[in-house]
Amino acid sequence: MRLEDKTVFITGAGSGIGQATSLRCAEEGAYVIATDVDEESAEETAAKVEDLDTGGAEAHRVDVTQADEFHAAVEAVHEDHGLDVMVNNAGTGHPPAVTEDINESMRDFVIDVNLKGVWNGCHAALPLMKEQGHGAIVNVGSLASVFGLPRNAAYSMTKGAVLNFTRAVAAEAGRDGVRANTVCPGFTDTPLVEQMLATSDDPEAAREKMEDGYPLGRLGEPEEIADAILFLASDEASWITGEGLLVDGGYRASGGG
């Protein structure tokens, strides 16, 4: 198994890509630390992992925007179980709007979750991974890491920054045995995308339009993104660092829709 005897810390594990990643890593033998700002959802994910009867799991409430809380959780997990993989998955979006209509409060919330959350996760994990001489960090970006998505300026700003931040971490931590990569999903069938579609006057038509932008003609599934995260977390990607892996159903190949 690809993650046997390894401990994987996952943020935003309560649903969507985070939950799928928790299950996928567990299937490959990992001990999963399922964290979410919604503790109940994290516990539900941990229970699903336990049902697999593989590596095991535990749940923690972690608000990724709170650096002290994040550090305390990571250090406690490291002391009890070690820390081999950090998956900074927690993220949020905002209702589609032109830049000038995005207020300061919404902008700052998106920055706090999407950007500071990834910073906090790396900031907590890096010294522990460097000291032990190994570790893999997988940050979850987006198509918006490489494309500026119209009516999603704040989201695009944060996800673009995540990719370049990951490259900086990879460049400075590689000689300490730590790899850092970003998975950049296209629109994936998750609660976050459902919430975004729900803001449309015609959610069904909006979904069809979204799907038409992909050569494969559909949105991604959380399990498909989880497979990419698993790959970058595993030793199969031992000579890959500083990369942004697009998992986008061919969106870039079609010139962006």
Terminal-to-terminal C-alpha distance of the chain = 37
Please tell me which residue in 31, 155, 214, 251 is annotated as part of the active site.
155
| Cα–Cα–Cα angle for 136, 170, 37, rounded to 5 degrees | 55
Length of the chain equals 257
Question: Position 167: which residue type?
Answer: R
Do residues 11 and 18 touch, judged by C-beta distance below 8 A?
Answer: yes
* Helices 117-132, 153-173: inter-axial angle, 10-degree rounding: 10
Sheet with 135-140: strands ordered across? 57-61, 31-36, 7-10, 85-88, 135-140, 178-185, 244-247
Please name the residues in contact with 69: beta carbons below 8 A apart, sequence gap of 6 or more: 62, 63
- Whole-angstrom distance, CA of residue 92 vs CA of residue 113: 7
Catalytic site residue 155?
yes
Residue given tokens 């190949």 in the structure block:
253
Task: Enumerate helices (H) and strands (E) in the chain, giving the number of each.
Answer: 9, 7
* Catalytic (active-site) positions: 155
